[in-house]
Amino acid sequence: MCVPIPGGLVKRTIARRTTSLRAASAALLLAVGLGGTHAGVATAASVADPPAASAGLLEAMRHDLGLTARQAEERLRAERHAAEVEADARRVAGGTYSGSWFEPSTGRLVVALTDRSEEPEVRALGADTRIVRHSAAALDRAKSRLDAVPAPAGVAGWHVDPKANSLVVTVVRADRAAPAVRAFVEQARRTGPVAVTETAAAPRTYAAGTVGGDPYYTGNVRCSIGFSVYGGFVTAGHCGRAGAAVRGWDGSAMGTFQGSSFPGDDYAYVGIHSGWWTVPVVLGWGTVSDRLVRGSAEAPVGASICRSGSTTHWHCGTVLAKNQTVNYSQGAVHQMTKTSVCAEGGDSGGAFISGDQAQGVTSGGWGNCSSGGETWFQPINEILRRYGLTLHTA
């Protein structure tokens, strides 16, 4: 059933977006000048000396994470350091590496190892260590075996948890005793070490069938732009198939889906028409100032992260897990990152960002921004590699 777009939407949106784009363009010119050049995916050096956090970002972290302004600033600095240490720790630990996570209580990265002999070198990098039984490689192999098993609807997903040093299977609380769910869990236990957790509701994608805010549109579906790349933008795959036409916030022709994958993955690339342009900006929706994107260094588990979407605008939380398989009703999606950030219909495709580093595009989750919930995103660097794209950075 088609749902007509309200006629007053375009006029209301134009006024708001014109102001926002002017502010974003002015911020970009001040930040990079008129002679900007194409920049690729950022390395860890991109986050070594970032600009000071805005008052709006600090307020969002106070509201969503319960931090004072000083605590938020200290945490952002610690998380940037942890992101730099993580890559070096993985290299140093080699086959003994078993994952890592940021520990907010200490402000340090914790690296799990299967061999104590690697502890001194890893600690010298500035990380804490924990000795565990199973390596990350062994747990990843167990997850790959489970990925090949069809899952019933009562199984929300599964991922490797470095803290638990096991494969975590999440089941919907109301379905935990269902025979199909119990059979899946038993099969999971045969692949490797498994822990079972419960969730309040099954995950769902966040595309919206009705129009209600900031844009883009394909057919009668509204989704959210993720990040600008040279030639267009990235977003969620479930929002449209390759070849589908896209209309922008003003209702005019904007571009076409050049590539899309869902399920299995949940990402897409939209090429834009002449008359549209890309800027390395994520909207703060008045909650925070619009955020310049300076790279895509991956934040560790435990780090703070924020999301921008066209329905619920700006919300923050923490990274809960990586490389999770999410079992939607349409099929399983792999290599997702789980967060404590809320989202709602229409937020699909929107940007997840940590500090000024792009993290990924919103896929789906459970709950809402009134009562809370969890949301998954598809990591940005995988999307860039898949389509050979270059992130537009400031």
Q: Measure Cα distances from 155 to 175, 305, 319 in Å.
A: 8, 26, 21
Task: State which amino acid sits at residue 142.
Answer: A
Burial 345-370 (b: 16+ CB within 10 A, else e): bbbbbbbbbbbbbbbbbbbbbbbebe
On the question of a cis peptide bond just before residue 263, with omega within 30 degrees of 0, the verdict is yes
Q: How many residues does the chain have?
A: 394
Q: Measure Cα distances from 376 to 237, 259, 321 in Å.
A: 13, 21, 9
Only one residue has tokens 């940007």, namely: 351
Is 238 among the catalytic positions?
A: yes
Catalytic residue among 304, 348, 354, 363: 348
User: Measured in Å, how far apart are the chain's first and last C-alpha atoms?
Assistant: 42
Is 289 among the catalytic positions?
A: no
Provide the token pair at 203.
Answer: 């995950």
Catalytic residue among 266, 290, 347, 356: 266
Is 348 among the catalytic positions?
A: yes
In terms of Cα–Cα distance, which of 233, 311, 306 is closest to 54? 306
Catalytic residue among 81, 134, 238, 334: 238
DSSP H or E segment with residue 313: strand 313-328
Contacts of 107 (CB under 8 A, 6+ apart): 74, 75, 78
Report how far residue 89's alpha carbon sits from residue 82's, in angstroms, rounded to the nearest whole number. Answer: 10
HSE-CB at 56 with a 13 A cutoff on CA atoms is 12
Look at residue 309 and give its three-state secondary structure.
Answer: strand
Do the beta carbons of residue 322 and residue 89 sit within 8 Å?
no
Would you please indicate which residues are annotated as catalytic (active-site) residues?
238, 266, 348
